[in-house]
Structure 1
Amino acid sequence: MKKVYGSASEALDGLLSDGMLIAAGGFGLCGIPELLIDAIVESGVKDLTVASNNAGVDDFGLGKLLATRQIKKMMSSYVGENAEFMRQYLSGELELEFNPQGTLAERMRAGGCGIPGFYTKTGVGTMIAEGKEVKQFDGEDFILERGIFADLSIVKAWKADDTGNLVFRKTARNFNPPAAMCGKVCVAEVEEIVPRGALDPDAIHLPGIYVHRIVQGDHEKRIEQRTTRKREEA
């Protein structure tokens, strides 16, 4: 099966539709599938629900889809660093389903493993538990969280081979693997495609069975918050 495509728009061809659920990788500004996001912006698809740890910043990452009002609902654990995200949420223009970070990651992983739900103590006794089933195990309360089964996953990896085996770099490994797992179709953008057999099997973070399409491209290296100090006088 051919998995390598020439551009992000080609890799997404036939996969996008209004109202779909997309799982997106990335953590802060690290590991964001920026080329695929740009292609989704250009497609004009709307009323999207996006499951992602955060929404990038105002002019980068998922922030671009918020600016064009293509996202109807976010399933996230962090809304900082993005003024438009906060503005739309506080004004009632954007639906938001808050998730603790570990819960969101596990919901994605569970979906990828075919697990419809799991119980966790995280969020018990808080607004996170509102409307959810509570069950006791060994005398303690746990809440039921549902696995995420996305229509499409978009992720960014460091390296891939043509079968879709992926290697992520450092912090990009946080949310990209579980996001990739939970989609009916997974499209990965990568910095480098290497020959089959070039990747050490022990170094592969996500096997190609989860990845359906790959695109290679150039990526922007952004720093989310640049902190400096004055040079000390000699």
Structure 2
Amino acid sequence: MWLHASILKIYSIQCVCIWICLVLSQYTKADPLLNTDDTEIVPAKHCQLESAIIAPSHAETTYQFNTACQSIEGIETSLGYSDFLNSNEGHWSAQLKSVIRPMNGWGVAASLKLSGQQSEINQKDNIEWFLNIPFGLDFLNNNFHLYSNVGYQYASEQVHLLRWSVASNLVLSPRTDISLESYNQDRHAPFEQSALHYSLIPNILTFEASVGQRLDTFRERWFGFGLSFTP
């Protein structure tokens, strides 16, 4: 019964996401499964939608939803929310992002994110903030991209945490590309992740799937999937 209810909840969420993305597809460009941020922002007066479902082996399945818009020229604002499917515990975030140098061979951006988590046990949000500097490089006529992030995170449990991430993206064919990523989120061993992006409808609808794990243990593994749309 529990498994059946979880599957129905996941199916319902994905159906809602598909409907929203179809409505906004001319404005949407998503890559929801990677943690490494790129150096670009959404076009002026446009918005994008990101959504994904991640099932880790060591924790509950989570659903992630994020929207980003450039309502103010040169500044991207985004709101995100992630929810544990089997409990009433959620995580919210709000971010401002701006481009320092537009991507032309290489590019730099900066972002500031505020986030918090609330559960039934602890009704008070634990606010943390994260200042991030994304850097990007293009190679092979834009068929290979390399991104790196360096940032500073302040949280009540992890003061003065220096966060980093590195990701690469390689175009294999007009329909298929892959991404490899390594990053840290705490003071323990970093994570690694690989993602596959397959275009179901060229330049419109893309299916994404990823697998990953923490580097020092085989017990912290996960997989994720989602849909993304490009203009």
**Normalized against structure 2, the TM-score is what?**
0.28
Larger Rg: 1
Higher RCO, Cα 8 Å, sep 6+: 1
Structure with greater strand percent: 2
Structure with greater helix percent: 1
**Normalized against structure 1, the TM-score is what?**
0.28
